[in-house]
Structure 1
């Protein structure tokens, strides 16, 4: 399961870590799909001839990943539930189970990804405000022109706009 930023420029996910350090986001019933052929694992065959299938039991780490190339902090697979500790990024996944992390770890990784995308998400607000500002300025220019055409004075227009007569004249006389 992945997450998408509001601007659709970032898609994040929990990436599985192969023993050789490769990251993946896809899995099959036979294991986790990793790009590249090392010859150490069975080829994916029908899924993609350029991928190998690493068995779930060999997945020893996870980290957040993003389509922009960002990677989060590494989470390690531990051998027992007693060793699991969110604070030190240790997750217990029993041998024989799929290599998926718990919901708690996925949430922690997603929160880390949200910190990564926070600047681009904030920029969306700036872009929206700037767009609204341009639209309002254009609307103001048009209504000032209409008011002047209807016979309003620069003093009246300035007062309505919250500026002086002279500032109104300087701003809109040539428009």
Structure 2
């Protein structure tokens, strides 16, 4: 399961970490697919530049983003008693798939959201700036229409919350 930023420029996911530090990009029924060929693992038949790392050999997980960002390493521990989210330690049995637990998925998602927070905030600024510009254009047009309809600068200024003189200075040349 992955996540996509509002601008579609960031896609994040929980990646399994191979013993040599490579991150998985997906999985198969035989294990986790990692890019690169070390010669230690079986190559994937459909993607020959990927190796299949058995689930039992996955050493942990980390957040990954297609922009290159990587989150903190969450170490795979041998028992539930050793698991400690505060220390980035999680237990997932070596007998099954190495998929991240729900708790780990949520924690890594939070890390990824912190990674994209500046981008998301700038998107908000850009949207507000567009709205501000559009509102300014609407105000200029409605002031011109009010003046053309015979409204005084005093009435226009009062409607906008400024003085008659300020209204005249701001819009008299925009008729």
- Sort the TM-score into its range (normalised by shorter chain): over 0.9
Give the CA deviation at 1:100. Answer: 0.8
Aligned length: 174
Matched position secondary structure for 1:21: coil
Aligned twin of 1:128: 127
Counterparts of 2:2 and 2:169, CA distance in 1:
53
Aligned twin of 1:82: 81
* 1:33–1:51 Cα contact (<8 Å) kept: yes
TM-score (norm 2): 0.94
Q: What are structure 2's unaligned runs of at least 5 residues?
A: none
Aligned twin of 2:150: 151
Counterparts of 1:94 and 1:125, CA distance in 2:
42
Matched position secondary structure for 1:110: helix
Q: What are structure 1's unaligned runs of at least 5 residues?
A: none
Give the CA deviation at 1:25. Answer: 2.6
Matched position secondary structure for 1:134: helix
Aligned twin of 1:35: 35
Aligned twin of 1:91: 90
CA deviations on 1:99-125 (whole Å, 9 max, x unpaired) are: 112111111111111111222222222
Aligned twin of 2:4: 4
CA deviations on 1:35-72 (whole Å, 9 max, x unpaired) are: 111111111112x1211111111110110111221111
Give the CA deviation at 1:145. Answer: 0.8
Give the CA deviation at 1:91. Answer: 1.4
Q: CA RMSD in A?
A: 1.2
Aligned twin of 1:117: 116
Matched position secondary structure for 1:7: coil
Counterparts of 1:131 and 1:141, CA distance in 2:
15
Aligned twin of 1:161: 160
Matched position secondary structure for 1:158: helix
Q: Which moved more, 1:100-109 or 1:125-134?
A: 125-134
Counterparts of 2:15 and 2:24, CA distance in 1:
5
Matched position secondary structure for 1:62: strand
